Amino acid sequence: MSEFEPKIVGFFCNWCTFTAADLAGTSRLSYPHNIKIIRMMCSGMVDPKYVIKAFLNGADGVLIGGCWPGDCHYINGNLKARRRVAMLTEILKEYGIDEKRFWLRWIAASEGTMLREVVNDMTAKLKELGPSPLNREALGEKSEKAKMIG
Amino acid sequence: MAEKKPTGTVLVAGAGISGIKAAIELAEIGYKVLLTDASPQIGGILAKLDNQFPTDHCGMCRMLPMVGREYASQYCMRKGLYHENIEILPFTELKSVEGDAGNYTVELLKKARYIDTDKCNGLGECIRVCPVETADEFNHGLTLRKAVYKPVPHSTPQMLLIDMETCTRCGECVKVCPTNVINLSAEDEALTRQVHAIVLASGVKLYNLKDFEDAKSWAVSPDVVSSLAFERIISGSGTFDGTIRRPSDGRPAKKIAWVQCMGSRNRRQKRDYCSSICCMFALKEAVLAKEKGGDEVETTIFYMDMRTFGKDFYRYYERAVDEHGVKLIRCRVQGVMLNPDKSLSMRYFDSETQEFFVSDYHMVVLSTGQVPYETHQKLADLLHVDVDSRKLLPTDPYDKVKLVKPGVFLCGSLMGLTDISEAVGSGIAAAGQVSRFLSGLDVSLLEEEEIPEPTAKDRDEPLVSVVLCKCSEKMQESSVDFNALGAGLKRLNGVGEVHILDMLCSDEGKQTVLDLLAKSKCNRLLMGACHPFMYRKSLKNLAKKAGFAASLVEITDLSSIVHRGFFDPQPVESGKRDYTRLAYNDLRGHIENLKLKPALHVESLSINPAALVVGGGIAGMHAALSLAQRGVEVHLVEKTDRLGGYAGTRIEHTIDGLTPVSMAKDLAGKVLEHKHITLHKNCEIVATQGSLGAFETKIRDVSKEENFYLTHGAAIIATGGHEGATDEYEYGNSDQILTQAELKDGLATGEIDVGEAETIVMIQCVGSRQKEGREYCSRICCIGAIANALAIREKNPEARIFILYRDVMTYGFTEQYYTQARLAGIIFVSYSLDNKPKVELVDGSPVITFTEPVLNAEMQLTPDYLILSTGVDAEASNREVGKAFGLPVNEDGFFVEADSKWRPVEFLKVGLYVAGVAHSPMTLKDAILQAEAAAHKTYAYLSGRKIHTAHTISRVHDAICVRCQRCVTICPYGARSYDEALDRIIVDGATCQACGMCAVECQNNAAEIMGFSDKQIMAVIDAGLSKDPVAATPD
């Protein structure tokens, strides 16, 4: 069987992290295809239900990328994101989603290298962790938990 | 029919931040702008700066327009910029300017890049094959680049060019270019344009290490770098990926020293000025070094005076020293020695311990200052004017942005030595002056574009047309199987047609698309093409031509997937499968999103075209006149019974020869005469309600003891300030102890006679720059003290004059007055906060005791006069005015602007602006500059042009809204409010920036960002994780 390839959904802020991803692309800093990037205007625009939805659809990890504190184009959306992520992490844990699967990172527009490192790092950590309990495809229908929730 | 008036066109020469700001401001109000820059890219020095204090990151995108934001680019500004009304011409020099005011013919020289950047797809194959390697200027020679290169690595479009000085003309790049856009024999192109006004914004250079006369004492190692090079070293996109290493061997730099005043404050080099920015620059870099390198990094700054004069600069300084442990040593170091282990030694005298030390450092950063003068003579020749006595472009004595030649304005560092917020502010002010100038000419604005309502077709069942660009023939062996991709997409529900084309960017490509779309029955369009930023403008226009509603067109970046596949070393077959899937999922996400997207429309806002100006000081009067001159009705509210404010009634002369009192009289005369200005004296602001375009303010006439209401579309707060109060140093207990203002008045009236005085002592920073009291520098007291000291010196050459100071804040060109004072024998003695001078009264006369740091001895003086520099206090009424308008006031009592660097005269609440000392202590010229800027920001809304909301904006679904008002609380812009009468949540369409906070906060999905609905995002997540086989591929 081929190696487990985790699926990551990245919600990236338009102004910083999405730009960094773009920079990584144009600078040919290759990062794994494991990540599906969804552009949001602000990290503070990421509704917790989007994160839950991604996990329910079988994502092995979710990465929210925003501007550094103080840099938010919308004043303080990133701080609101931070508050929500802290809360959501606790809720996800209750449902068996390891907190190591849900990351929030500040990545500025110029930090293409950092973006690549974060994605590489997350991919590696998720490989160690194995598929998410909700990733039915990777686990096969055997997973009891998947059956229960799905 | 009358002949059509020409469209007002402005040349902005110089695309650094001030030029960009001026261009955006002019474009926003409907003028056509040509934005040129002599260098191959835009952004100026800021393109290299990833980090700016006080946040230590970047906030440049906040400079983008707030209203009409959809006409401009909506992405990171350091990548680039577009605006519908701005034509950007990088690598273009201004060659000549002929003609008269309002009718200039400019000749421009567009230098050859040898690459047609309009058609380059940014693949970068040319860079890969280029055999030449040379030092990269962007990273200050710390890295290498090819002969064909991107001048700013993070810019988009990538704006490649070929450096013909190093190019060997081997032609390899021409062979590999997939789009055939390289022409090695391209030539410079001369352009002639007619413009009505010119803004010069060519900026300054920073002092170059190599130009040092005494370079040999400094340039001893590659580890001695300039401050800008250090910025590149720590940058995430710089030399070492954001880690701090020394250039010589790449080893971590743990001990770093900054040496201030390199190339400035140096009379021997005929550079008798202060570069103004380096102190904060060095503090920021030292803090960043600590943040990025960890606590074990030691940072030391060698300085002469720590010039932290701007708003909140002193608090940053305190944080740097107290929280981050940045070490400051007051000593002008004379050189660096290279040790055999490559470390760098510097010898210095520590005045605190009175000892000489030699310390070793891994890296030495030289704070190389701004160099004025260089371009002034050249520009003066171009414009046929003479430089002034300081060898600078001759400007209006009060208006720093106004050149003596009508219709020509300047901004940014060309005016003098400016930091970011001054550069941005001056850009707005220059735009304001241009707009005032053009309002007097017979020119028109660009025609307002009719924004079409969504048609019946747009509201029909969604049917998506997908247009994909394969790029060129040379990319055929690409990683994406376009046939399979197209077939897969065609199968999807809601996709009407899929067109796959070559070179969408070419004219033929565009025509083919137009022909295809003309026959289309689809009502939504997805273009998967090049880098979305690159062609967004032209593809959008294409979609418009083809009859698609703007909100129903998506342009997505297919090329980066294609390019990534192109460079992926994995075998073609598996690669093809991977990348085809990647592209399929990505496009499918966009299709699902488009299908759910409603046809959005915009609304035009009703704007009351009157302005309210609070405060009848010089800033307030200037702002009022600037608006009135452009036909705006202005209500000027002043709480006292006379105009002029503090400066306009108290300061007769300034050191640079200005006469604020007579200037204020002149302004007051114009204010009283102006038919568009209504003056309300003895009036106070009680309360305000409403938002941009429709404010209503309750005003109390104190003399008549009655209230009245004014309605206005916007307001400028210019409440000013006054000399600070003190009870320190026995003030008030002796008539020999005076404040600087009292001394000035006394000297002017002759009440104070210094003719017989033997000793006069002045103490600076009384109650300022300390935790208890004014925790800021008042900016004007050092210059004021020097002015008074020189005036005394003139009357009494024998008197001994001492100025006891902490740091002499004679920034910019005012340094020369400091020099002049020292040459005139005025004695400057520094003291520190923990060892302040002591004053006691002996027989009613002050006796002052202080430590003389050079002699390291205690001294006692019995002066005839003790003069205290008590700083500038904010108006006490600021808190009430702030409360009335719902505006923040900081702990010092000054108003808090939206962003200290990028939005210096705006408040977060749209429609309200700040000018003058209400913002922070500042000089008269700076207050006038801010007043002009605030007036222009106001004018942008009140000019009578239609102001539309954006397409993407927050809305309320009243039926499911429970009126909990949580969205009102969370909105960072105050764009939402609860209307009790209507029992509804109201969204202010001009203020909303569509950040989406309300939509997340709302528990009922009653708040929604149009075009970013939950349904859409859910569908995108579904598509992104979908495992559906791509049709016809063995998936």
Rounded to two decimals, the ipTM of the complex is 0.93
For residue B46, pLDDT over 50 is answered with yes
pLDDT in tens, B881-933: 999 999 999 999 999 999 999 999 999 888 999 999 999 999 999 999 999 99
Lowest mean pLDDT among A81-95, B239-253, B413-427, B1018-1032: B1018-1032
Average pLDDT of A54-68? 95
Whether B122 and A26 lie within 8 Å, measured CB to CB: yes
Average pLDDT of A132-136? 89
For residue A147, pLDDT over 80 is answered with no
Query: What would the CATH number be for the domain defined by B205-371?
Result: 3.50.50.60
Rounded to the nearest angstrom, the minimum Cα separation between B288 and chain A is 14
CB-based contact B202:B375 (threshold 8 Å): yes
Is A41 domain-assigned? yes
Whether B1025 and A71 lie within 8 Å, measured CB to CB: no
Structural domain including A27 reads 8-149
Whether B1021 and A113 lie within 8 Å, measured CB to CB: no
Of A58, A76, A109, the CB nearest to B76: A109
Residues of B in contact with A109 (CB under 8 A): 58, 76, 78-79, 154
Of A25, A33, A70, the CB nearest to B57: A70
Is A1 domain-assigned? no
Residues of A in contact with B153 (CB under 8 A): 23, 27
Average pLDDT of B196-204? 93
Give residue B483's Cα distance to chain centre: 47
pLDDT in tens, B111-131: 999 998 877 877 788 999 999
The per-residue pLDDT for B900 is 92
Q: What is the mean pLDDT of chain B?
A: 90
Of A7, A45, A68, the CB nearest to B57: A68
Domains B205-371 and B623-656+671-720+875-945 share a fold: yes
**Nearest Cα to Cα of residue B326 among B284, B291, B286, B271:** B286
The per-residue pLDDT for B3 is 66
For residue B726, pLDDT over 50 is answered with yes
Please count the structural domains in chain A: 1
Average pLDDT of A19-32? 79
CATH number at residue A119: 3.40.50
Output the DSSP codes for B161-191: EE-TTT-----HHHHH-TT--B-TT---EEE
Average pLDDT of B205-219? 79
Is A15 domain-assigned? yes
Rounded to the nearest angstrom, the minimum Cα separation between A54 and chain B is 6
Average pLDDT of B167-194? 93
A-B Cβ pairs (cutoff 8 Å, strict): 159
Confidence class for position B765, pLDDT limits 50, 70, 90: very high
Output the DSSP codes for B629-661: HTT-EEEEE-SSSSSBHHHHHH-S--TTS--HH
Average pLDDT of B9-35? 95
pLDDT in tens, B804-822: 999 999 999 999 999 999 9
Of A45, A69, A113, the CB nearest to B995: A45
pLDDT in tens, B643-696: 999 999 999 889 989 999 999 999 999 999 999 999 999 999 999 998 889 999
- DSSP E strands in B304-454: the ranges are 327-330, 337-338, 344-350, 355-361, 363-368, 370-371, 408-410
**Nearest Cα to Cα of residue B889 among B902, B873, B901:** B873
Residues of A in contact with B54 (CB under 8 A): 70
Rounded to the nearest angstrom, the minimum Cα separation between A56 and chain B is 10
Average pLDDT of B595-603? 88
Average pLDDT of B434-453? 86
Annotated domain spans of chain B: 1-111+189-204+372-451, 120-187, 205-371, 456-601, 623-656+671-720+875-945, 723-871, 953-1009
For residue B576, pLDDT over 90 is answered with no
Of B154, B557, B1021, the CB nearest to A110: B154
Q: Which CATH number fits the domain B1-111+189-204+372-451, given the four candidates 3.50.50.60, 3.30.9.10, 3.30.460.10, 3.40.50.2300?
A: 3.50.50.60
The per-residue pLDDT for B1 is 43
Whole-angstrom distance, CA of residue B312 vs CA of residue B315:
5
Q: Which residue of B has its CA nearest to A71?
A: B59
For residue B417, pLDDT over 90 is answered with no
Rounded to the nearest angstrom, the minimum Cα separation between A80 and chain B is 8
For residue B571, pLDDT over 60 is answered with yes
Rounded to the nearest angstrom, the minimum Cα separation between A106 and chain B is 11
Rounded to the nearest angstrom, the minimum Cα separation between A52 and chain B is 10
Confidence class for position B532, pLDDT limits 50, 70, 90: low
Whole-angstrom distance, CA of residue B610 vs CA of residue B711:
8
The per-residue pLDDT for B207 is 85
B723-871 fold: FAD/NAD(P)-binding domain (3.50.50)
What is the percent of chain B with per-residue pLDDT over 70, rounded to a whole number? 97
Whole-angstrom distance, CA of residue B9 vs CA of residue B936:
17
Confidence class for position B535, pLDDT limits 50, 70, 90: low
Identify from B1025, B1027, B1028 which residue to disrupt to test chain A contact, counting A C-beta atoms within 10 A and taking the largest count.
B1025
Confidence class for position B1034, pLDDT limits 50, 70, 90: very low
Residues of B in contact with A84 (CB under 8 A): 1000
Whether B79 and A76 lie within 8 Å, measured CB to CB: no
Residues of A in contact with B59 (CB under 8 A): 70-71, 73
Whether A44 and B59 lie within 8 Å, measured CB to CB: no
Is A142 domain-assigned? yes
List, in sequence order, every residue forming a beta bridge with B189; answer none if it has no partner.
B110
Whole-angstrom distance, CA of residue B835 vs CA of residue B855:
15
The per-residue pLDDT for B1035 is 41
Of B235, B241, B994, the CB nearest to A41: B994
For residue B132, pLDDT over 70 is answered with yes
B989 Cβ partners below 8 Å, 6+ apart?
Answer: B603, B605, B949, B950, B953
Q: Which CATH number fits the domain B953-1009, given the four candidates 3.40.47.10, 3.90.1860.10, 3.30.70.20, 3.40.50.10420?
A: 3.30.70.20
Lowest mean pLDDT among B507-511, B553-557, B788-792, B1030-1034: B1030-1034
List, in sequence order, every residue forming a beta bridge with B800; answer none if it has no partner.
B759
Is A101 domain-assigned? yes
Question: Long-range contacts made by residues A24-28, C-beta under 8 angstroms, separation at least 24?
Answer: A24/A112, A24/A113, A24/A115, A24/A116, A25/B560, A25/B563, A25/B564, A26/B122, A26/B124, A26/B154, A26/B156, A26/B158, A26/B531, A26/B560, A27/A112, A27/B153, A27/B154, A27/B237, A28/B124, A28/B563, A28/B564, A28/B567
Domain B623-656+671-720+875-945 indexed as CATH 3.10.20.590:
no
Is A45 domain-assigned? yes
Lowest mean pLDDT among A71-75, B429-433, B961-965: A71-75
CATH architecture assignment, domain B456-601: 3-Layer(aba) Sandwich (3.40)
Is A20 domain-assigned? yes
Is A3 domain-assigned? no
Rounded to the nearest angstrom, the minimum Cα separation between B323 and chain A is 18
β-strands B976-979, B984-987 pairing: antiparallel
For residue B1033, pLDDT over 50 is answered with no
Confidence class for position A144, pLDDT limits 50, 70, 90: low
